[in-house]
Structure 1
Amino acid sequence: MSLKKAYLLVILILVVDQLSKIYIKTNFELDEEVYVFDWFRIHFIENSGMAWGAEIPGAFGKLLLTSFRILAVGGIAYWLWDAVKKHASNYLIVAVALILAGAVGNILDSVFYGRIFNDSYGQVATLFSSEPYGQWFHGKVVDMFYFPIWEGNLPSWLPIWGGQHFTFFNAIFNVADVAISTGVGILIVFNKKAFGK
């Protein structure tokens, strides 16, 4: 795959990711939910940008996280360029392009959203608001896809979690997260083909 095609894939994913996030942010209040099916919902949440909503406490922690992610994206971009120049497997090039697109998509939220949107608590946010909710590099990542495939109480005979309420699959994510997960999945499942050359 050429570098041009790899970058086109990255740009396409970024456009879809950002359009979906801007649509959700400007049409949903925080925690608003729409049922598409019982097992698929659009549920608007925001997080600090770490996996599973984990957080480094304080404003410095958020700045540190965003700065680290920008450096990591530089490394991933170099990996993509290097893979194309060395005529690596298309499995590797596509996987790295997906990971790069997803990482950049979530970084855009972290860097810009705090300055271009107002708050979503109890209201629909406005794009390019005169009263932004945060500072540069302190934005929150928009998530919306929720697939609670099964929800109920686990049997009491199960160790540790027996009798407790359980939801499978309770993560809420976005297009960028799907791209990253798919890229990592390709590297794991097609490991020999991706790194074979």
Structure 2
Amino acid sequence: MKALYVTLSVIIVDQITKLIVKGISIPFLNIHLEGMSYGESINVIGDFFKITFVENPGLAFGIDVNDSAKLALSIFSLIASIGIFYYLYKSKHQKLVVRVALALILGGAIGNMIDRTFYGVIYGYAPIFYGRVVDFFNVDFFDFTILGRTYDRWPIFNIADASVTVGVILLVIFHSNVKEDLPEKETAVPEDKAKEYDELSTINLSVADVQDSNGKEN
């Protein structure tokens, strides 16, 4: 499905940007990316927009959770990704905007799931499913409070987060107004049935002719 190209593009861009920010070394491929120091910031548009390297060990907005919740979150992300992929595969007749929205959500979910599942093992700081999500987009925003915490900047996020957000917004806007295009029901008479109807019609006409002839003779 073409919509899955959107998913694949999100995953690739998300992982490349994370590896550039965090850095990685693969000697046998002669790849060595230095990356940024943890907490380091690079101003892009003054203080309004920065690239800041942080890692999120838990939920959205940097909310930390215990190890059991981290494992549950990783497994839930895996199950949710499989579910979205299956629905996306089965919804071939959905409007393009809905399929793109689902593809964006799927790409974002898989992008962050890769961090949680494998980054701890790759970078040697945690077992599988206990990795931390790499975030780096740092945008100034109006003050707001969520779950008792007040923020003077938008919580630092990544490509995967942005992809999920855009996908959800598209679904909210368009899904309620979009009906699935279902193929029209076939109304044509099957060929074998048509032959039966022709034979019955011929018999009826013959009977009618005989009856008409008998009537005239009488």
Cα deviation for residue 49 of structure 1 reads: 4.3
Deviations 1:118-172 (A, max 9, x none): xxxxxxxxxxxxxx11111110000000111458xxxxxxxx9xxxx962x4221
> Residue 28 of structure 1: SS of its match in structure 2?
coil
2-structure distance, mates of 1:47, 1:190 = 31
Return closer, same or farther for 1:180/1:194 CA change in 2, 3 Å cut-off.
farther
- Matches for 1:100-119 after TM superposition, within 5 Å: 100-117=106-123
> Residue 190 of structure 1: SS of its match in structure 2?
helix
Return closer, same or farther for 1:179/1:49 CA change in 2, 3 Å cut-off.
farther
Deviations 1:77-104 (A, max 9, x none): 11111112xx111111000000000000
Residue from 63, 85, 96 that aligns with 1:54: 63
2-structure distance, mates of 1:42, 1:51 = 18
Name the residue aligned to 2:98: 92
Unaligned runs of 5+ in 1: 118-131, 152-159
Question: What number of residue pairs does the alignment pair up?
Answer: 165
2-structure distance, mates of 1:137, 1:42 = 26
Contact 1:28 1:44 in 2 (8 A): yes
Name the residue aligned to 1:140: 132
Cα deviation for residue 63 of structure 1 reads: 1.2
Name the residue aligned to 1:157: none
- Matches for 1:22-61 after TM superposition, within 5 Å: 22-26=19-23, 27-38=35-46, 39-57=48-66, 59-61=67-69
1-structure distance, mates of 2:159, 2:141 = 19
2-structure distance, mates of 1:60, 1:188 = 32
Return closer, same or farther for 1:61/1:177 CA change in 2, 3 Å cut-off.
same
Alignment-mate amino acid for residue 56 of structure 1: V
- The alignment's C-alpha RMSD in Å is 2.1
Name the residue aligned to 1:177: 161
Bigger Rg, which one: 2
Return closer, same or farther for 1:195/1:102 CA change in 2, 3 Å cut-off.
farther
1-structure distance, mates of 2:126, 2:94 = 42
Contact 2:58 2:65 in 1 (8 A): no
Identity %: 35
Return closer, same or farther for 1:77/1:136 CA change in 2, 3 Å cut-off.
same
Task: Give the structure-1-normalised TM-score.
Answer: 0.77
Unaligned runs of 5+ in 2: 24-34, 182-218
1-structure distance, mates of 2:128, 2:76 = 15
